[in-house]
Structure 1
Amino acid sequence: MTVGTRRLAALFAPAAASASAASVPAGRDAAAAQPPTLLLVPGYTGSKEDFAPLLDALADNGVAALAIDLPGQYESPGPDDPRDYTPAALGDVVAELVAALPEPVVLLGHSYGGLVARAAVLAGARVAGLVLLDSGPGALPAGPRVQALQLGIPVLQQQGVAGAYALRTALTERLRGQLAPPPELAEFLQRRFLASTAAGLLGMGQSLLTEPDRVDELAAVLADRQTLIAVISGEADDAWGVAQQSEMANRLGTSLVLIPGAGHSPNTEQPDRLLRAVLPLVRSVSS
């Protein structure tokens, strides 16, 4: 799909037809009869495929789901300036996409994608609901992920994407604490990383170290527009962490929803449990 001059690769799951959607009572608002559209935004080094485990089940539950690559990710080309990959810059792209989708739209951002989704709402994206998944109030807190970025950014600048991938692989093997992925998945992860633009990896990586806390701005906009909000995290998230996300949820007027058995990516680690957490919000926007 094309947004402005940018081509964004996407995975799409159309909503399954249902009897209740086939006939609309007289006088009912047309938007209320439209199945909700769930726009799924991936995180740093991610892509639309991160949401593939959710798509069939979302369609079966009457949700039209659209998972995208952000510009510069995997199969979506992007500009050459790292400044075009800040949450604010990418938020403008996502806001433009939201405006082209049938309403009502629920926007879900995972990790860095949560910062982008927040920026899209602050840029004026008219969404009925916002889901922040394993995301945070601003820059990553001190820890292994920050250390990896501090090591990786200079390598990316000096050796390019291939050098950054070699470093990432070495760090992952040192920190994993779990079994390596199956060969087919490992091959895909390598191919996806190497297809990413250097500018995108650099701009997003730097933003993860510098993004300001904009939670109070977001809370005010959500309240003004009466936009539904959910904050969801894997119970063992090692990025922003459960405590920081819980505090963010409170500032947004909601409570953190934890996904048992998941770390930083419930969408791939526990998709069925994540689906059960997301569906109530998505259904409520069209009720």
Structure 2
Amino acid sequence: MKAINTIALALSITGAAAIPASAAELKPTVILVHGAFADSSSWNGVAAKLRADGFTVIGAANPLRSVKGDAESVANVVKSVKGPVVLVGHSYGGAVISAAAYGQANVKSLVYVAAFAPDKGETALELSGRYPGGTLGSALAEPVALPDGGKDFYIQQDKFHQQFAADVPRAEAELMAVSQRPIAEAALTEQAGVPAWKKTPSYFIYGSADKNIPAAALGFMAERAGSRKTVVIPGASHVVMTSHPAEVASLIEQAAQAKQ
């Protein structure tokens, strides 16, 4: 009987010890939201590093039609995940995650990658022009008229490399220009609602040579949001996740490991 009790006690202790270890190994799911003039493939380098480190990664398709509608689309992806989520947005995708995470209890942190973090009533268009240094307007192609009277914006292919991805090899940037996805004018001029960053911990990373959203604007938004950590990469372009995937993945992992 004594021997049986000793074995039972040993099994009990082993089982108890295994529970915290298993819980500790549970990693949040990382949801990556691309911005304008891009698609989910822009995250490939970041996703590869996160997956190698044991994270489940989802590249959410961003419709690029309206902040509210795009946020609802991403929010549905968030709701489909059982467990904690780190929501990551690039460029206009930052406005989307700010809205999509609002009221979502399983979103533990937000990561803004060269991204907008608008406050209520602000628009992406206004924020990008609030500080000098942005040259996107002069790089845009003739708008494409939409059946509903709206407009779609693209970047001129011959200006894409210097405007959007100056620190990416030219051949790669040229292919990015060909496959770019347009954004509706309505999405850039729609006023934001109450942002999730007011309650959810946020992290920011961007390049000092961003020509789409001036570094001064990105720094302002990071400070206003109370960023837990802000990383500025000297000379990096707007697609810092493509040119510096290791740094971006590292910040996302820090956001995933942080306590609320």
Q: What TM-score do you get using the length of structure 2 for normalisation?
A: 0.73
Tell me the residue number matched to 1:145: 136
- Give the counterpart of 2:191 among 203, 212, 223: 212
Q: Which residue of 2 aligns with 1:86?
A: 66
User: What is the distance in 2 between the residues matched to 1:39 and 1:86?
Assistant: 19
8 Å Cα contact 1:42-1:113 kept in structure 2 = yes
Provide, for residues 60-91 of structure 1, a one-character-per-residue CA deviation record: whole Å limited to 9, x for no partner. 2222112233237xxxxxxxxxxxx2111110
- Quote how far apart the aligned CAs of 1:104 are: 1.1
Q: What are structure 1's unaligned runs of at least 5 residues?
A: 1-22, 73-84
Task: Percent identity, please.
Answer: 27
Bigger Rg, structure 1 or 2: 2
The alignment partner of 1:128 has SS state of strand
Match of 1:172 among 153, 160, 177: 160
Checking the alignment, whether the CA contact within 8 Å between 1:41 and 1:70 is kept in structure 2 is yes
Q: Contact 2:29–2:86 at 8 Å: present in 1 too?
A: yes
2:248 to 261, 274, 284: 274
After superposition, the Cα gap between the structure-2 partners of 1:146 and 1:119, relative to the gap in structure 1 and judged at 3 Å, is: farther
Alpha-carbon distance, 1:184 to partner: 6.4
1:2-151 alignment runs, 5 A limit:
25=17, 28=20, 33-71=25-63, 85-122=65-102, 124=104, 126-136=106-116, 137=118, 138-140=123-125, 141-142=128-129, 143-149=134-140
The 1:36/1:148 distance shift into structure 2, 3 A limit, reads same
Change (3 A) 1:177 1:132: closer
Separation in 1, partners of 2:254, 2:97: 19
2:222 is matched by which residue type in structure 1? A
Q: CA deviation at 1:273?
A: 2.1
SS of aligned partner of 1:152: coil
Tell me the number of residue pairs that the alignment of Structure 1 and Structure 2 aligns: 230
Matches within 5 A, 1:256-267: 256-267=230-241
Q: Say if 1:114 and 1:133, in contact at 8 Å, map to a contact too.
A: yes
Check 1:41–1:124 CA distance in 2 against 1; reply closer, same or farther (3 A cut): same
Counterpart amino acid of residue 139 in structure 1: A
Alpha-carbon distance in structure 2 between the residues aligned to 1:24 and 1:262 = 48
Aligned amino acid, residue 205 of structure 2:
I
Question: Is 1:245–2:218 an aligned residue pair?
Answer: yes
Q: 1:265 to 1:125 in 2, by over 3 A?
A: farther
More helix by share: 1
- Is the contact between residue 31 and residue 85 of structure 2 (CA under 8 Å) also seen in structure 1? yes
- The answer to whether the Cα contact below 8 Å between 1:262 and 1:269 also exists between their aligned partners in 2 is yes
Change (3 A) 1:54 1:177: closer
What is the distance in 2 between the residues matched to 1:272 and 1:139?
A: 27
CA distance in 2, matches of 1:238, 1:228: 27
Question: SS in structure 1 opposite 2:202?
Answer: strand
Aligned counterpart in structure 1 of residue 208 of structure 2, from 231, 235, 251 = 235
Deviation at 1:39, TM superposition (A): 0.4
Alpha-carbon distance between aligned partners in 2 of 1:44 and 1:186, rounded to the nearest angstrom:
16
Matched, 1:284 2:235: no
Partners of 1:112 and 1:47 lie apart in 2 by 12
Deviation per residue, 1:167-195 (Å, 9 max, x gap): 712443785895995546634641x23xx
